[in-house]
Structure 1
Amino acid sequence: MAMEEIQQQVAAAKEAALTAIENASNVTQLEQLKPDVLGKKSPLRQLMRLLKDLSAEERPAAGALINEAVAEVEQRFESRLTLLRDQELERRLALEKVDVTLPPPHRCAGSLHPLTLTLNEIVRIFVSMGYEVATGPDIETEYHNFDALNILPDHPARDMHDTFFLAPGVILRTHTSPVQIRYMKSHRPPIAIIAPGRVYRVDDVDATHSPVFHQVEGLLVDKHVSFAHLKGTLTEFLHAMFGRDLATRFRPSYFPFTEPSAEVDVQCFICRGKSSECRICKGTGWIEVLGSGMVHPNVLENVGLNPREVSGFAFGLGVERFAMLRYGIPNIRCFYENDIRFLSQFRARV
């Protein structure tokens, strides 16, 4: 293939690309056009394949010619994109222009976020039962987040795939349990606290997961605290939250910081266990809502308490999960999008 033929094809491909760019009438059309004029499979870039048919002396000049054409198309593309964006902005501003001679629009009353509403209700219930609210830092040490809670160095939760590490030994807390550790170090029993707050875990965003979400964890430590106290406390809380006519159940489970441990379920308040097609309980009749257990003796020793003299129970729940159940929200992303159409539905619940 002769150099002249390459030059003709480059000129033709460049002209076709520039014409297509100029004919795009809006940003969407132009962005959809980009793969065809600048992508790896665009006619202009495909000409690079023809270089192998040229002599060694001609290849550098032909390659430079193609690269210059690509650069010109890229420059024209960006210029056209800027122009179209400016035009769309001008049209939008013209449509949204405010006539200052008109009376001001009616101001709608604000409302609390559904997560705030749910958290406030959870806090209200536990405060009415004698609990205090405790808080702690979002940036934590590995010791307070893991070691003091009997989570061993080889536990999967300590892997970088699950935890945000900011520096050696420093992380974004994966639960609000470190608040309990700090509180037990600075206070003596009897202790009855809840620890609400943001927590962080490496997770992909989907309908039920987010890398940032909210938890409420609780702790009670005193002399002669038993599993019966744990069961009575959480049953009372769930009845106050979801209704006193709903049954609860405790299933054996495992958590490093409690022994024995239990998952807590509440009877499905949609189907009451009578529908195999219920989207909430998946036909089981039960909804998992809490993790709980008796505080592990190692945890008590780590904060300077004698497990032979005092005992305690702990529990944890996800605020987003409770809000989704309470309001029938199917997607956790709704909480974070700041969509006024969604948020305004909760105005009457303030």
Structure 2
Amino acid sequence: MVEQLQQMLEDFKTGIEKVQSLPDMAQFKAEYLGKKGRLKGLMAGMRDLSPEERSSFGAKANEAKQFMEKLIQEQSTRIELEEINSRLDKEWQDISWTDRLKDKGQQAAGLHPLSSVMRGLEDIFLSMGFDILDGPHIEDEYHNFEALNIPANHPARDMQDTFWFQDKKHLLRTHTSNIQIRGMEQHKPPFKFVGPGKVFRSEALDASHEAAFHQLEGMMVGKDISVSHMIHFLRTLLSEIFQKEIKVRLRPGFFPFVEPGFELDYECLLCGGTGCSVCKQVGWVEALGCGMVHPNVLKAGNIDPREWNGFAFGLGVDRLTMMRYHIDDVRHIHSGDLLFSQQFKAY
């Protein structure tokens, strides 16, 4: 009977290699391990063996059963994966295949213009060696105000209409400067990083203002950094953004987290400086606020201002998108209007 058991195992190993489907595997398993299978038939003959032979053969039969069950499981898993992959290959469709979309009467897909500009900005900063950081939309009072040199009694808080939560300790962030504080807490100088994202303010809606919009703020901290370094960097940045030279002007500005502070404007690209609703008829568009990082802000980030300094900047991504695509009203960007979005097949 031992020879019969060995022959059955040889037949099993040869036969299982030929099984190519799960239904066939179920039938194959029944042939060898079923109630009327070959193994059961061999074990039925154990009643004619002596007690010693019965014990020895029983152990070998159990080993054979475990071997066959293991091999059946492995082969079944392989067959199942092959069937899944085959089905996926047959059903897979390239949704970016524009010809397929056109055949169905649909327009070619593309990024929203705001997403396209944001990705372009991130690519520019990455090429300049900046890290891209992220931060929470729901912020605490410390990271949004106090750590940025805006204490509870500071008049700058009156300049920002803020969406506060009921506990009066948390809010929807009013700028992405909170990312700068968190970045300083997590990084040791020298460093340079930017934090893009959505911010929220209780604004009166018009052609150039929304209650929820996008900013990108960044900072560079090192040793012996000057205003001249900042101006050169920002000119280079704007040239990269618009892919051409544009007219800019720098004027004094007040931001509690920088000293000295500046505002950088560029000539309106929609009207060429003649005046329109976007530039409020002045011919210039505010591009970004900037300045040398205030020593108190460096201290809040656990950085010694006697050893390190740097500059910070923040720009409005929505307005850049308007300039890039000649959009005359920021409300169009967030309208969700497909007729508007389909004009921009931006990638």
TM-score range, shorter chain: 0.5 to 0.7
Distance (Å, rounded) in 1 between the aligned partners of 2:247 and 2:343: 30
1:41-120 alignment to 2 at 5 Å? Answer: 105-120=104-119
Question: Residue 208 of structure 1 aligns to which amino acid in structure 2?
Answer: S
Question: Residue 145 of structure 2 aligns to which amino acid in structure 1?
Answer: F
Distance (Å, rounded) in 2 between the aligned partners of 1:284 and 1:202: 24
* Partner deviation per Cα, 1:43-94 (whole Å, 9 max, x = no partner): xxxxxxxxxxxxxxxxxxxxxxxxxxxxxxxxxxxxxxxxxxxxxxxxxxxx
Could you tell me how far 1:190 is from its partner in structure 2? Answer: 1.2
Other structure's SS at 2:254 match: strand
Distance (Å, rounded) in 2 between the aligned partners of 1:282 and 1:159: 23
Structure index of larger Rg: 2
TM-score (norm: length of structure 2): 0.66
Could you tell me how far 1:245 is from its partner in structure 2? Answer: 2.8
Structure 1 portions without partners, runs of 5+ = 1-103
Could you tell me how far 1:284 is from its partner in structure 2? Answer: 4.7
Contact 1:219 1:313 in 2 (8 A): yes
Residues 159/283 of structure 1: CA separation in 2 closer, same or farther (3 Å cut): closer
Partner of 1:249: 249
Could you tell me how far 1:206 is from its partner in structure 2? Answer: 2.4
Question: Residue 122 of structure 2 aligns to which amino acid in structure 1?
Answer: V
Partner of 1:162: 161
Distance (Å, rounded) in 2 between the aligned partners of 1:154 and 1:182: 23
* Partner deviation per Cα, 1:203-262 (whole Å, 9 max, x = no partner): 232222221111000111111111111111110011112243323221111100000010
Could you tell me how far 1:191 is from its partner in structure 2? Answer: 1.2
Distance (Å, rounded) in 1 between the aligned partners of 2:272 and 2:157: 38
* Partner deviation per Cα, 1:252-294 (whole Å, 9 max, x = no partner): 1110000001000123445654x4x555556655332110000
Distance (Å, rounded) in 2 between the aligned partners of 1:289 and 1:197: 16
Other structure's SS at 1:165 match: coil
Other structure's SS at 2:108 match: coil
Distance (Å, rounded) in 2 between the aligned partners of 1:157 and 1:319: 23
Residues 201/272 of structure 1: CA separation in 2 closer, same or farther (3 Å cut): closer
* Partner deviation per Cα, 1:130-188 (whole Å, 9 max, x = no partner): 11100011111100000000012123553597111112311111001111101101110
Distance (Å, rounded) in 2 between the aligned partners of 1:160 and 1:311: 27
Question: Residue 124 of structure 1 aligns to which amino acid in structure 2?
Answer: D
Could you tell me how far 1:296 is from its partner in structure 2? Answer: 0.2
Other structure's SS at 1:235 match: helix
Partner of 1:293: 291
Could you tell me how far 1:335 is from its partner in structure 2? Answer: 1.4
Partner of 2:315: 317
Distance (Å, rounded) in 2 between the aligned partners of 1:255 and 1:230: 16
RMSD after superposition: 2.1
Is 1:197 the counterpart of 2:197? The answer is: yes
1:336 paired residue among 334, 337, 344: 334
Other structure's SS at 2:343 match: helix
Q: Which moved more, 1:261-270 or 1:315-324?
A: 261-270
Distance (Å, rounded) in 1 between the aligned partners of 2:153 and 2:211: 22
Could you tell me how far 1:124 is from its partner in structure 2? Answer: 1.4
Contact 1:157 1:163 in 2 (8 A): no
Distance (Å, rounded) in 1 between the aligned partners of 2:280 and 2:186: 44
Partner of 2:240: 240
Partner of 1:345: 343
Distance (Å, rounded) in 1 between the aligned partners of 2:329 and 2:163: 24
Name the % identity: 47
Residues 210/282 of structure 1: CA separation in 2 closer, same or farther (3 Å cut): closer
Residues 331/243 of structure 1: CA separation in 2 closer, same or farther (3 Å cut): same
Question: Residue 308 of structure 2 aligns to which amino acid in structure 1?
Answer: V
Residues 287/336 of structure 1: CA separation in 2 closer, same or farther (3 Å cut): closer
Partner of 1:182: 182
Partner of 1:146: 145
Partner of 1:171: 171
Could you tell me how far 1:122 is from its partner in structure 2? Answer: 1.4
Residues 160/231 of structure 1: CA separation in 2 closer, same or farther (3 Å cut): closer
Which runs of structure 1 show a deviation greater than 6 angstroms over 4 or more consecutive aligned residues? none
Distance (Å, rounded) in 2 between the aligned partners of 1:291 and 1:160: 15
Distance (Å, rounded) in 1 between the aligned partners of 2:267 and 2:242: 9
Question: Residue 143 of structure 1 aligns to which amino acid in structure 2?
Answer: Y
Question: Residue 303 of structure 2 aligns to which amino acid in structure 1?
Answer: L
Partner of 2:306: 308
Distance (Å, rounded) in 1 between the aligned partners of 2:283 and 2:344: 28
TM-score (norm: length of structure 1): 0.65
